[in-house]
Amino acid sequence: MQTKLMTAQDAIRTFVHDGDCIAFGGFSTNRRAYGLVREVIRQKKRDLTVESGSAGGDIDMLVGAGCVKVMNISYIANSGFTMVCRRFREAVEKGILPVEDYSLDVQTIAYHGAALGLPYMPVKNMLGSDLETVWGISEAERRKYPKLPAKKFVMADDPFSPGSKLCLVPTPKIDAALVHVQKASPDGTCRIEGARFQDEDIAIAAKHTIVSCEELVTDEEMHADPNANTLPGLCVDAVVYLPWGAHPSQCFGYYDYDPKAMLAYDKASRTQESFDAWLAENLGTDHDSYLQTVGEEHLKTLKVDPALGYVAGLKRK
């Protein structure tokens, strides 16, 4: 069977292009595809439409690095360290970054609809709230962004319940999904341990899916226990072996999130100037050079206790 193994550099160069709609797996400080995101920044990808459920510092880095043109999100924070990511917040407050705001449940429902190949999903979740009446990006402004749907949603009568209303939410047209997993094999079969979030849906919905993994195992090993697998190889275009690829977020069963790195980023991201200096010092020329900057001894302190699933006594502030 043909191998899908690629380097991060080749995977991003091949499947992520300027102007693409990119969706990201993970949740805030949990299993975010930081290693792939750093490569997007190194390659200076521009004008991206970003889709992410509960986003974290990885997306904030993309904003600070000038990669993002417009966003659909429900939340963006390094929870417990920065309540609203700072490069994102400043860009929105200055009117530089157009953002559409959906509730977290509605956005993940839309991703599931995209995985099913549906043009929209009928929901009630936002009805009666400001998410229904206030649009972050107007219908007129949306014409400037070809990757955005023409409308945030359309209100419609429920054909099965007279007098009841539905909110028809458009599903995203994802060019590339970036997902970090615990295990993958050369044929693209992937295994996510712990919470899966929206990762399965965006991987299936995307035209191209890039997966980075903590462990690279044989196809035979993955196929021996198919019930434990999350994604089949048919919806994965590239497998990138990237241990610590979610750092500084956590990766269930492998390592905890890195409070030292999160706190340093919180401080550095307060201004564009300090962010730029931090990025120049910490981005690295590739993943290995990034890990050298973090330090092998420090990374060892983040490895989880297998019996607990986290690092006992980790100083989180």
Average pLDDT (42-59) is: 95
Average pLDDT (197-211) is: 97
Q: Give the chain's largest Cα–Cα span.
A: 64
Cα of first residue to Cα of last residue in the chain, in angstroms, is 47
Go through the domains of the chain in sequence order and give each one's CATH number.
Answer: 1-120+173-317 (3.40.1080.10)
Q: pLDDT band at residue 2, thresholds of 50, 70 and 90?
A: confident
Structure tokens at 118: 């549906």
Position 316 pLDDT exceeds 90: no
pLDDT tens sequence across 265-288: 999 999 999 999 999 999 999 999
pLDDT tens sequence across 102-156: 999 999 999 999 999 999 999 998 888 888 888 999 999 999 999 999 999 999 9
Average pLDDT (296-307) is: 95
Structure tokens at 236: 């994965």
Q: pLDDT band at residue 205, thresholds of 50, 70 and 90?
A: very high
- Please give the Cα distance from 240 to 86 (Å, whole number): 29
Mean pLDDT, the chain, whole residue set: 95
Q: What is the pLDDT of residue 33?
A: 98
Sign of CA dihedral 43, 46, 49, 54: positive
Helix (H) / strand (E) element for 214: namely strand 208-216
Whether the upstream peptide bond of residue 248 has omega within 30° of 0, thus cis, is yes
Q: What is the pLDDT of residue 281?
A: 97
Helix (H) / strand (E) element for 55: namely strand 48-55
Position 80 pLDDT exceeds 90: no
Alpha carbon distances (Å) from 20 to 115, 174, 185, 208, 271: 18, 8, 27, 11, 27
pLDDT tens sequence across 55-67: 999 999 999 999 9
Average pLDDT (168-181) is: 97
Position 248 pLDDT exceeds 80: yes
